[in-house]
């Protein structure tokens, strides 16, 4: 079995962060989303991985390399334009070479991994196995109609009258039968080759398409609020450690991971939280659900439920919540002039001032 990872999206819903950082490299619990995905694949025993990237994917190529750091062998597959998930299968045909394969959308995180999915496929040998999970509002997702024995009878994209609450999670396992299906379909109204259309064609042909119902935590990290929620969830599973230094005037409460070279001085850190390598936290209060990246500086700061990316600094600003602070960004307080606030913002930025 092989794996096909889709990492070519532009990440428009995560701008402005994705103006300068490839969407799959946005960190959750101080690890890029794509790395979580690759580790899940490795843990299934799959070793050959093809990664779909856009022409601007050089940053992703550098981060992943040849895959050896994950115990994988990576083949890079360029996609000139975002023409749909089924198009990714089409252009990866030479790499896949008729083998069974896992297709994993690179902005999805499945806590606990996908080993159970791969085992079910190996035991039942359907033409396609779709990972699905119950959601509160199926109208926001692709939805599977699942019958007896887990057979999938149909799919619907964001239906106004859902036939079930089982949403497509973004991880699939396919046999070679999918190749003729992606070659047979035509572009949708939005100009893309849809994988749901290809799966629907398999169903109409009488192929065995089944669902794997996943009851654990999963998240599409395509939006900031989802990114923050997923960060809190993953931090809860990280064991505490003190690889860096914590002075006697500081207090660590709960599961706090202080990475190598990090320093915590006269501060209170409440877990789950991660302080990244070579970061310094001084005279600050760090609340639960916060991950601080590498080389950050926090001084007289207060922040909780947030993500601080590498090289950022926060000084003399407290009561920050549910925030994402980009790489090398600076957040600082100055005395007000004439009772007014001053903002310095780059293009496509967003500021939320809660009252």
**What does the pLDDT look like over 107-132, one tens digit per residue?**
888 998 999 999 999 999 999 999 99
* Burial (CB count within 10 angstroms: exposed 0-12, middle 13-18, buried 19+), residue 206: exposed
What is the per-residue pLDDT for 117?
Answer: 95
Give the number of C-alpha atoms closer than 13 A to the C-alpha of residue 143, restricted to the C-beta side.
20
Domain end residue (candidates: 234, 266, 287)? 234
In this prediction, residues 14-28 reach a mean pLDDT of 68
209 and 327, same domain (yes or no):
no
State what percent of residues in the chain have pLDDT above 70: 92
Q: Inform me whether the pLDDT recorded for 346 exceeds 80.
A: no
What is the per-residue pLDDT for 58?
Answer: 87
What is the per-residue pLDDT for 163?
Answer: 85
Please tell me the distance from the alpha carbon of residue 16 to that of residue 70, in angstroms, as a whole number.
Answer: 29
281 and 221, same domain (yes or no):
no
Q: What is the CATH number of the domain that holds 306?
A: 2.160.10.10
Beta bridge partners of 281: 264, 298
42 and 101, same domain (yes or no):
yes
Q: Inform me whether the pLDDT recorded for 337 exceeds 90.
A: no
What is the per-residue pLDDT for 102?
Answer: 97
Give domain status of residue 353, yes or no.
Answer: no
73 and 213, same domain (yes or no):
yes
326 and 206, same domain (yes or no):
no
169 and 280, same domain (yes or no):
no
In this prediction, residues 91-106 reach a mean pLDDT of 94
26 and 7, same domain (yes or no):
yes
State what percent of residues in the chain have pLDDT above 90: 61
72 and 9, same domain (yes or no):
yes
Give the number of C-alpha atoms closer than 13 A to the C-alpha of residue 2, restricted to the C-beta side.
21
In this prediction, residues 235-250 reach a mean pLDDT of 94
Give domain status of residue 272, yes or no.
Answer: yes
Number of Cβ within a 10 Å radius of residue 44: 19
In this prediction, residues 71-94 reach a mean pLDDT of 93
pTM flag (> 0.85) = yes
Cis check: omega of the bond before 312, within 30 degrees of 0: no
Please tell me the distance from the alpha carbon of residue 167 to that of residue 157, in angstroms, as a whole number.
Answer: 9
Beta bridge partners of 258: 242, 275
Cis check: omega of the bond before 113, within 30 degrees of 0: no
What is the per-residue pLDDT for 114?
Answer: 94
139 and 62, same domain (yes or no):
yes
Give domain status of residue 349, yes or no.
Answer: no
Q: Inform me whether the pLDDT recorded for 18 exceeds 60.
A: no
Give domain status of residue 348, yes or no.
Answer: no
224 and 251, same domain (yes or no):
no
72 and 172, same domain (yes or no):
yes
Q: What is the CATH number of the domain that holds 15?
A: 3.90.550.10
Domain end residue (candidates: 217, 234, 251)? 234
Q: Between vectors from CA 242 to CA 37 and to CA 65, what angle results, nearest 5°?
A: 30
What is the per-residue pLDDT for 56?
Answer: 77
Give domain status of residue 341, yes or no.
Answer: no
| Domain extent for 216 | 2-234
Give domain status of residue 20, yes or no.
Answer: yes
Give domain status of residue 135, yes or no.
Answer: yes
What is the per-residue pLDDT for 220?
Answer: 79
In this prediction, residues 46-70 reach a mean pLDDT of 91
Q: Give the count of domains, the chain.
A: 2
Give domain status of residue 347, yes or no.
Answer: no
134 and 229, same domain (yes or no):
yes
Q: Which of 103-117, 141-155, 283-297, 318-332 has the highest mean pLDDT?
A: 283-297
Q: Is residue 170 within 8 Å of residue 209, measured between CB atoms?
A: no
């Amino acid at each position: 079995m092989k794996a096909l990872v889709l990492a070519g999206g532009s990440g428009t819903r995560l701008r402005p962060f994705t103006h300068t950082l490839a969407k799959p490299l946005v960190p959750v619990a101080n690890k890029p989303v794509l790395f979580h995905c690759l580790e899940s694949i490795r843990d299934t025993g799959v070793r050959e991985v093809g990664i779909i990237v856009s022409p601007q994917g050089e940053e992703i190529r550098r981060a992943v390399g040849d895959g050896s750091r994950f115990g994988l062998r990576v083949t890079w597959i360029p996609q000139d334009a975002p023409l749909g998930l089924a198009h990714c299968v089409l252009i990866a045909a030479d790499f896949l070479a008729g083998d069974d394969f896992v297709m994993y959308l690179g902005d999805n995180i499945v806590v606990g991994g996908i080993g159970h999915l791969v085992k079910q496929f190996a035991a039942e040998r359907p033409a396609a196995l779709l990972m699905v999970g119950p959601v509160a509002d199926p109208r926001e997702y692709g939805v599977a109609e699942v019958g007896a024995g887990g057979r999938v009878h149909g799919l619907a994209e964001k239906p106004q009258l859902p036939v079930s609450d089982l949403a497509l999670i973004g991880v699939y396992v396919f046999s070679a039968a999918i190749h003729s299906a992606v070659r047979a379909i035509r572009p949708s109204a939005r100009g893309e080759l849809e994988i749901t259309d290809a799966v629907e064609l398999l169903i109409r042909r009488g192929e065995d398409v089944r669902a794997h119902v996943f009851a654990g935590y999963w998240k599409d990290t395509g939006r900031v609020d989802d990114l923050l929620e997923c960060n809190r969830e993953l931090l809860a599973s990280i064991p505490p450690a003190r690889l860096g230094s914590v002075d006697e005037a500081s207090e660590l409460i709960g599961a706090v991971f202080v990475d190598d070279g990090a320093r915590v001085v006269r501060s209170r850190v409440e877990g789950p939280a991660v302080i990244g390598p070579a970061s310094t936290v001084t005279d600050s209060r760090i609340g639960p659900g916060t991950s601080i990246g590498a080389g950050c500086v926090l001084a007289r700061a207060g922040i909780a439920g947030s993500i601080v990316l590498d090289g950022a600094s926060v000084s003399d600003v407290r009561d920050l919540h549910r925030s994402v602070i980009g790489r090398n960004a600076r957040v600082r307080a100055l005395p007000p002039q004439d009772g007014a606030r001053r903002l310095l913002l780059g293009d496509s930025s967003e500021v939320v001032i809660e009252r």
